[in-house]
Amino acid sequence: MTLDGAARRLTVLVGESDQWHHHPVYAEIVHRAHRAGLAGASVFRGIEGYGRSSRIHTNRILSLSEDLPVSVVIVDTEERIRAFLPEIEELVTGGLVMIDPVEVVRHVGTADPETPA
C-alpha cells in the first residue's frame, strides 16, 4: 500500500506494563493494525514522562521505572484510522489516544518478502 498526501496519525500513549490478555497493549495494537491492513505502525519507548496519575516514570538508573511511557503511532487515511478506533477503545483502559492531520510527503519501502510478486 502506498500512502500519499493528506492522512491521519493515530497516537496512543500507554504504559509499558499495560497488559491485554498477558501481552503488552502496545504489541496487541501493532498486531491488530497489521491484521487490519493499516499502512504502518511503530512503537516508541519513552525515557521519562507522566500522565493522569502525575507520577513521573523515568529510566534514570537511580529511579528505574518498570512502567515507562510508550507511544504507538499509526498513519493511514482518515477513514481507515477511524474504522480502527473500536479496536483501540477495547484495548486502552488507561492512556491517551489522539488523532492528528498529517501530510505524507514520501512513503517508500522495500517489497515484503512474505508477499508474492
- Where do the structural domains in the chain lie, given as residue ranges? 10-104
Which residue's C-alpha cell is 482518515? 78
Would the pLDDT of 95 be above 70? yes
3-class DSSP string for the chain: CCCCEEEEEEEEEEECCCEECCEEHHHHHHHHHHHCCCCCEEEEECCEECCCCCCCEECCHHHCCCCCEEEEEEEECHHHHHHHHHHHHHHCCCCEEEEEEEEECCCCCCCCCCCCC
What pLDDT is attached to residue 25?
A: 97
Is the domain spanning 10-104 CATH 3.40.640.10? The answer is no
What pLDDT is attached to residue 68?
A: 82
The pLDDT tens digits of the residues spanning 50-60 come to 776 666 666 65
What pLDDT is attached to residue 117?
A: 43
